Amino acid sequence: MNKTLISVVGPTAIGKTKLAIHLAKQYNTEIISADSRQFFKEMNIGTAVPSLEEQAQAKHHFIQHKSITETYTVGDFEREAIQKLSELFKIHDVIVMVGGSGLYVNAVTDGLNTFPTIDPSIREELNTKLSESGIKPLQHKLKQLDPEYFNKVDIYNPQRVIRALEVAIGSGKPYSSFINKPKAERDFKLLSVGLRAERALIYERINARVDVMVETGLLQEAKSLLSFRDYNALQTVGYKELFKYFDGEWTLDFAISEIKKNTRRFAKRQLTWFLRNEDTLWSDYDYETKTLLDIIDVEIENLKNV
């Protein structure tokens, strides 16, 4: 238990990759990505994958290692990430994990929860309702059956909404009742470090990032993936809006404005998720590097005595 995982969390566009690289250099170690959309090799610009220059500064794992045509669940990630940590901890005392996908972060730090077996017909029926009536009726149903989870989940992600509903309907119990279980035992200490900023500033950074994505080829990337639009990986902000533009439903300006709006909503959900962890060490996004690294170093030393 003298090994430590530093988990860098926070909303999108806050600077998590930059901090993770600083930490990897500080401890001469490697980085595990817990960003569920950066796993896919076909998605680059729209998922803000670390640049080749950034990846050259510290070794990254779980970056673009899967295809969007492959099924890759959070359970798969948990197993592979824990195995990779076991390997890396043989040569490093500290490993860095970074990502804004709260469910994937928690899978590594706390373990996944056990859910009951659900009749597949329930999911089929929910998918039919989604295709016929859109996501709003499903959101309303989730709010009725499980208001606690409704306030945590990205309600614009149909896969997450349908998963919560099928469990609630099939078991007769709220989805949230299955996720408030004791944490899994891990053979490493955990230090969670969060980056934050005023909401208005976060939104400004998001808007600026989307503009850069568009300037650097997001439209071309999305267009090249149009034939794969039904895969789960592409039910993602930045792609699904542009698909509507390609379909002629939206103008380009409106699609871009929707990307910005939906990314801001996603960032709000991320903050809600990560703020639940009272043990997270929070820092302003524009931290003084040496000061923050020194604070983290002290926290790691303190963990050794716990």
Q: Give me the pLDDT at residue 264, please.
A: 96
Query: Cα(202)–Cα(180) distance, rounded to whole angstroms?
Result: 29
Count Cα neighbours of 147 within 13 Å in the Cβ-side half-sphere: 1
Q: Which residues of the chain have pLDDT under 70?
A: 1, 180
The closest alpha carbon to 270, from 105, 114, 140, belongs to: 105
Amino acid at residue number 165: L
**What pLDDT digit, counting tens, does each position of 251-273 carry?**
999 999 999 999 999 999 899 88
Check residue 117 and give left, alpha or beta (phi > 0: left; psi -120 to 50: alpha): beta
Dihedral sign, Cα of residue 62, residue 11, residue 273, residue 57: positive
Q: Give me the pLDDT at residue 164, please.
A: 93
Rg of the chain over CA atoms, in angstroms? 20
Query: Cα(301)–Cα(306) distance, rounded to whole angstroms?
Result: 9
Q: Give me the pLDDT at residue 189, please.
A: 96
Q: Is 248 annotated as a binding residue?
A: no
Cβ proximity of 156 and 265 under 8 Å: yes
**Token duo for residue 155:** 């309600």
The H-assigned helical ranges of the chain are: 16-26, 52-57, 74-88, 102-109, 120-133, 136-145, 147-150, 158-171, 199-215, 218-224, 240-246, 252-274, 289-304
Cβ proximity of 85 and 58 under 8 Å: no
> What string of H, E and C letters represents the secondary structure of 233-286?
HHCCCCCHHHHHHHCCCCCHHHHHHHHHHHHHHHHHHHHHHHCCCCCCEEEECC
Q: Give me the pLDDT at residue 1, please.
A: 67
**Token duo for residue 122:** 């329930």
What's the full length of the chain, in residues? 306
Q: Give me the pLDDT at residue 206, please.
A: 97
Q: What is the CATH topology of the domain spanning 4-113+181-304?
A: Rossmann fold (3.40.50)
Q: Is 58 annotated as a binding residue?
A: no
Domain boundaries, the chain: 4-113+181-304, 120-178
Q: Is 10 annotated as a binding residue?
A: yes
Query: Cα(255)–Cα(239) distance, rounded to whole angstroms?
Result: 10
Pairing of strands 94-98, 31-33: parallel
Q: Is 137 annotated as a binding residue?
A: no
Q: Is 25 annotated as a binding residue?
A: no
Q: Give me the pLDDT at residue 75, please.
A: 87
Q: What is the CATH topology of the domain spanning 120-178?
A: Histone, subunit A (1.10.20)
Query: Cα(200)–Cα(263) distance, rounded to whole angstroms?
Result: 13
**What pLDDT digit, counting tens, does each position of 11-34 carry?**
999 999 999 999 999 999 999 999
Q: Is 217 annotated as a binding residue?
A: no
**Token duo for residue 275:** 């703020």
What φ, ψ does residue 97 adopt, rounded to 5°? -120, 135
Q: Is 181 annotated as a binding residue?
A: no
Q: Is 236 annotated as a binding residue?
A: no
Q: Whole-model pTM?
A: 0.83
